[in-house]
Structure 1
Amino acid sequence: MMLNELIHLLKEHQFNQPIDDVQSVSGGSINKAYYVRANDGEYFVKINKGIPSHFFRVEAKGLKEIESTRTIQVPHVHYYNEPTDEETGILILDWVEGSKTPYTDEKLGQNLAQMHKTGQISFGYEEDTFIGVLPQPNGWYDSWISYYRERRLYPQYQLALEQGRMTGKRKIQMEKLLDQLDRWIPEPARPSLLHGDLWGGNWVVGSGGTPYLIDPSILYGDHVFEISFTELFGGFSQTFYRAYEEIYPLPDYYEDVKPLYQLYYLLVHLNLFGEGYGGSIDRILSRYIS
């Protein structure tokens, strides 16, 4: 998109401040992203075409829900639309920029633990979300294990089956694992508010070294599920984990369930990117299913 087209799009969507500068920035592989400096501040703008109408709405809703806990910072949502098939989707957020300090990782751990201590009475979420570009079905459940099986693992299993990536021994072991999930995962005491896609690229540093969460795919679930994913691809320091556990200690069985929780994200990557993640999935399945 040409920059003058972006300025026109912004003005079409209630952005009436005089614009001083627009620059294309890195915003991931899904959306086009821009830095916008206007008369009243700096903004981060994401745009995409051909997305489901609620794509940016559920992201904005997740950011607002996290913001409402007053536990950890997120970019403030200024505007989003729900595009039709022919329209361009747009999401306008605060621009966040800063440098890490010696206290940033500690603050991230403390603040995330405080967020995880907020929650509600049921597991899941009230509407479907996305993990990358993949639809992520939701709903409310009394049982975390049932939710994790039916709304997290099973849909990714089905998609892998449709794509020819769930065959042979992998298919047999996955089906057995789904049937016996409660052998290894205890029911958590309470649902925690989770970011839902917390890898190292989904937190950034703002002014004064303050950590911010970005790009959520929120749900209410086992806080161990979130921490397990932070260990899968790195991006989090030992200072972060120590600070987290000072506020919200991990259970004794954490190491036993961690691979089962990482399995979900590996299945997502299998479905998005291919067989390069198959070996990791097979090792986890073989650990639990002989």
Structure 2
Amino acid sequence: MKREINRVLHNLRDDSEVEKIRSVSGGDINEAFYVRTGSREYFIKGNRNVPPHFFKAEAAGLQMIQKSNTIAVPDVFYYDEPQSNEPGFLVLEWIEGRKKSDTGQKLGTNLALMHQHTSNAHGFGEPTFVGELDQPNDWQNSWIEYYRNFRLRNQLQIGVENGNIKGKRKQQLEMLIQQLERWVPDVSSPSLLHGDLWGGNYIAGPEGEPYLIDPSVLYGDPSFEIAFTELFGGFPEEFYDAYQEVSPLPEYYEEIKPLYQLFYLLVHLNIFGESYGPSVDRILHHYIT
């Protein structure tokens, strides 16, 4: 993969001397590198086994968040749309810093401001990814129908095909999907959401400024985003306090939270396997008895 980085830099029109390339932690899916040239520092992700729109989707999400002028994201310099058997790359601004005492508070405030950017429809209008799974994202007038068809039903189909969802689990999930109006609110102003906001998808930049990374953007219910932040931890109490000062959570939040977390647990079930099955089953039993 390192050999192709020179080609990527040439496409970027950075033909200055490559001073350093080192591998960095970039998650479970991609290879990732810190690259320093005579011109600047880069964060470069590459993958030989992704569809053409894989890095395009991430770049589009980062640029959408950046246009909201609410919360920092790395600048996007370049992405590939690779053909079959060719590696794809995404080139971003290199961000480096340490969390400070007010990083969590800034993250909560800025995320709430981002959620104030709205659309007249739910979804995103082009496919993205959640982890390594395809995420269809057609525009929908109804949040309930979007969540039913493009989130839960999509994961149901994947789980049936790979054998992770069957028997009682399948029956309960089908019943829940059919009855979704009982719990899911009719959100009238879809908010801009990061879409995959767990503790590893924000980092600290200079002066502790929070940056969002690895988005899977959509427009929808902000409670969907906040519910995921609570699923695996990684967010300090001051994050939630600051968020609610700008945008108080609705009264229905605690009741809907497990149902929104269900989507992400289904994703983990379909990627990582049965270790996430009991958590899925507990939520299904909570709503369908």
> TM-score, structure 2 length as denominator?
0.97
> How many residues get paired?
289
1:168-179 equivalences in 2 (<5 Å): 168-179=167-178
Q: Percent identity?
A: 55
Work out whether 1:47 is the aligned partner of 2:40.
no
* Structure 1 CA distance for aligned equivalents of residues 167 and 49 of structure 2: 35
Work out whether 1:145 is the aligned partner of 2:157.
no
Distance 1:4 1:150, change over 3 A: closer
Work out whether 1:71 is the aligned partner of 2:70.
yes
1:57 deviation in Å?
0.6
1:1-290 equivalences in 2 (<5 Å): 1=1, 3-11=2-10, 14-290=13-289
1:4 deviation in Å?
4.5
* Structure 1 CA distance for aligned equivalents of residues 157 and 72 of structure 2: 36
* Structure 2 CA distance for aligned equivalents of residues 5 and 228 of structure 1: 39
* Structure 1 CA distance for aligned equivalents of residues 220 and 278 of structure 2: 27
1:198 deviation in Å?
0.4
Secondary structure, counterpart of 1:123 in structure 2: coil
Cα deviation, 1:224-260, whole Å, max 9, x if unaligned, reads 0000000000110110000000001101111100000
Q: For the aligned residues, what is the CA RMSD?
A: 1.1
* Structure 1 CA distance for aligned equivalents of residues 164 and 177 of structure 2: 17
Secondary structure, counterpart of 1:130 in structure 2: strand
Query: Contact 2:14 / 2:39 at 8 angstroms: preserved in 1?
Result: no
Q: Please list every run of 5 or more consecutive structure 2 residues that lacks an aligned counterpart in the other structure.
A: none
* Structure 2 CA distance for aligned equivalents of residues 194 and 115 of structure 1: 8
* Structure 1 CA distance for aligned equivalents of residues 167 and 7 of structure 2: 53
Q: Please list every run of 5 or more consecutive structure 1 residues that lacks an aligned counterpart in the other structure.
A: none
Counterpart of 1:156, as a letter, is Q
* Structure 2 CA distance for aligned equivalents of residues 159 and 259 of structure 1: 21
Distance 1:20 1:264, change over 3 A: same
Cα deviation, 1:125-184, whole Å, max 9, x if unaligned, reads 110100111000111111001000000000100111111121121111111100000101
